[in-house]
Structure 1
Amino acid sequence: MNTTLRRVVIAAATVSMAATMAACGKAGSSNSGAASVSKGFRIGIALPENQTARYEAYDKPMLEAKLKQLCPKCQVDYENAAQNANTQQQQVDTLINDGDKVIILDAVDYKAIQPSVQKAHDKGVKIVAYDRLAQGPVDAYTSFDNEKVGEQQGQALLAAMGSKATPSSQIVMVDGDKGDPNAAQFKAGAHKVLDGKVKIAAEYDTNGWLANNANSEVSGAIARIGAKNIAAIYSANDGMAAGVISALQSAHVSPLPPVSGQDSQLDGVQRVVAGTQAFTIYKPYRDEANTAAEMAVDLATGKSVSDVAPDSQSSATNKDIPSKLIATQVLTQKNVKQTVIDGGLYTVSQICAGQYASACSKIGLS
């Protein structure tokens, strides 16, 4: 082989090797490219915490069931951050590195998770924001109309107060986790209804959705305001309502003022039945989970989500995100059957177990 020909061969081999190495490097650092339902692929679920009963009891199994129905050969990887934003960042990074094509993400902290969302986007991994709208380049979003939920809570609280709903009546507001964007929306919706109708004597933005924190805050409010002077308490969800009611009972408040809730947790529904909690908000979690699963499979396989997500929402960092917001309903003693029972969330026997049997009988729930 002459010198010129040898140089040409070596140069060609060098170019070929460089191209191969570049291609390998790209494949190793990216999950881009449409997946196939027939072959299956990996789907991540990253939920925020396990203090609120809904995530482990409803969201996780409902998401997994729908994903398996839509993609039987898909592998579902599940993570729960236990209310730790740093843990969730690590979990999302792991899902990305493990080759998940799409992640259904319910953020612990919607701002703190932005770098992980950006990393997923850069790697070609799709993100479905679930229940909470994370910042960053999210591909789709499903939740409930959170400001409307707050309005429903405010309206139902005024209705429960009856004639005591006057501009001079003092109420306490326990608004929810400061790191959860939904809490701010619930709060805004509630204020839209309550402001001017009652007097907000004390208000708290909590750290986490924890009953113990709510209990401490309301105990402090009772000490400052006086138990007899509190006409109602707005609790943003059922988990905190348990702490609120415990604080009232520990202070020997009787009768209990109306206390709100949200999520239709089993214990929340039971308190509504028993009359210690005025109402909760029924959220059809199955509809939300099914929507997220459909979005995830469509995004991973390169399909449009327009049929699943007919609306759009915007965050501080991303505009016109394909979205679907699901309607909610106030649950009182009058419509337990038409909401959580007909919706398949609970059975009568679950709600009316033990000490709640007589209360169920009184309201005709059997």
Structure 2
Amino acid sequence: MRHPKRFPFVAAAAVAAFALTGCAVQGSDAGARSTRACIVLPDTTSSPRWEGSDRPALERAVKDAGFQVVSDNAEGDSSAFLRIASEMIDGGCGVMILADVGGAAAQVAIDAHARGIPVVAYDRPFTGADFLVSFDYERIGALQGQSILDGLSAAGVDPGLAVVDFVGGDDDDPTAALTRQGAVGVLAAAGVSPSADLPAAWDAAKAAETVGTSLDLLGRVDAIWAANDTNAAGAIQALDARGMRAIVTGQDATLAGLRSVLLGTQASTVLKPYSAEAKTAAQVAVTILFGETPESDGELDDGTPYVYVHASLITPERVSEAIDAGAASLADVCAGIEDACSRYHVA
């Protein structure tokens, strides 16, 4: 990845489409259709974020700017993703915001560019996007890796001798690989190598099964790098079933994740302010709809301009930060665990 810099957004295939009337849409209402932002989200199962935070924030920001918006969710199905996007393109889009499923967004980008429609990759990078708005997932993985090292140090465990299981995400999700890469970079430098590399695919039940199998085989574990809070929940379930504890990471600052952090069954999670990410993506899209050129913070190795939204590590002492950011309500986080909230001054 290249060093961040500021420069105007120049889309490879869609520069001519930035003018409000530039989209190749036929019919008497082509001008109206070219002012519409078309949004396709990936699923409703990998995280509650997509429908609970991202969709409403994206729609609200586009509408507040005076533009039309249409959105849908592919429910984890790449074929559905392609169908939904195709229908949106036929209906007319001035810009598309796509959170990829299984590589389908790359084909959508080709189809969109053929109609003069620029494409914004949302959260998940993919080939052919004109712009990326996301979090720095390598940095998120590095935060998780450092959390494990801090936990091992506090427990007096030599990193080079530690038993550390990796519980990764969906192989089709590029952010999973980026997060793992960031974690491995930090852990490997300290002498940690995975004792088991377990698939979970953003599925708590699968994580519980694979972690449980590993625990039964190895008989112990010092830490579990869980790529997100969904996987962490499965790992914790497997540990609890065997009366074991370990340093467990997470990501997404979900309600369950924040409660686990306070209860000490999860060492940390990562707060990713989805509303800020959504607003940033919407601002990029709106800039395009206004016929102007967005600016970026840098570019990926393939030349795609990007803006990264800041993410932060949440430990028990910082749960209040996640609540203040809107990740969950104070009442929900502290329900039934008031003593833990009091201990860490969550109020």
Scaled to the shorter chain, the TM-score interval is: 0.7 to 0.9
Which segment drifts farther, 281-290 or 193-202? Answer: 193-202
Counterpart of 1:43 in 2: which secondary structure? Answer: strand
- 2:204 is matched with 211
Deviation at 1:347, TM superposition (A): 3.0
- 1:121 is matched with 113
TM-score by length of 2: 0.87
Partner amino acid, structure 2, of 1:28? Q
Deviation at 1:116, TM superposition (A): 1.5
For residues 48-90 of structure 1, give each alpha carbon's deviation from its aligned partner in whole angstroms, at most 9, with x where no partner exists: 111111111111111112112222xx33211111111111111
Partner amino acid, structure 2, of 1:313? L
Partner amino acid, structure 1, of 2:331? S
| Percent identity of equivalent pairs | 33
Asked if 1:56 corresponds to 2:51, the answer is yes
Once residues 158 and 104 of structure 2 are traced to their aligned partners in structure 1, the CA distance between those partners, rounded to angstroms, is 39
Asked if 1:292 corresponds to 2:281, the answer is yes
Once residues 83 and 104 of structure 2 are traced to their aligned partners in structure 1, the CA distance between those partners, rounded to angstroms, is 12
Once residues 303 and 252 of structure 2 are traced to their aligned partners in structure 1, the CA distance between those partners, rounded to angstroms, is 27
1:348 corresponds to which of 325, 330, 334:
330
1:252 corresponds to which of 243, 260, 284:
243
- 2:196 is matched with 202
Deviation at 1:344, TM superposition (A): 3.0
Partner amino acid, structure 2, of 1:365? V
1:161 corresponds to which of 152, 163, 174:
152
Which segment drifts farther, 111-120 or 284-293? Answer: 111-120
Once residues 173 and 344 of structure 1 are traced to their aligned partners in structure 2, the CA distance between those partners, rounded to angstroms, is 29
For residues 262-292 of structure 1, give each alpha carbon's deviation from its aligned partner in whole angstroms, at most 9, with x where no partner exists: 0111111111111111100111222211110
The Cα RMSD (Å) is 2.0
Asked if 1:269 corresponds to 2:258, the answer is yes
Mark the runs of 5 or more structure 1 residues left unpaired by the alignment: 1-25
For residues 290-309 of structure 1, give each alpha carbon's deviation from its aligned partner in whole angstroms, at most 9, with x where no partner exists: 11001111122321001xx2
Higher-Rg member (1/2)? 1
Select the structure with the greater relative contact order (CA < 8 A; seq sep ≥ 6). Answer: 2
* Alignment coverage as a number of residue pairs: 319
Once residues 147 and 255 of structure 2 are traced to their aligned partners in structure 1, the CA distance between those partners, rounded to angstroms, is 19
Partner amino acid, structure 2, of 1:350? D
Asked if 1:235 corresponds to 2:249, the answer is no
TM-score by length of 1: 0.83
Task: Identify if the C-alpha distance between structure 1 residues 165 and 334 changes in structure 2 by more than 3 Å, giving closer, same or farther.
Answer: farther
1:40–1:75 Cα contact (<8 Å) kept: no
Counterpart of 2:238 in 1: which secondary structure? Answer: helix
1:134 corresponds to which of 112, 126, 138:
126
2:34–2:94 Cα contact (<8 Å) kept: no
- 1:149 is matched with 140
Asked if 1:97 corresponds to 2:90, the answer is yes
Partner amino acid, structure 2, of 1:364? H
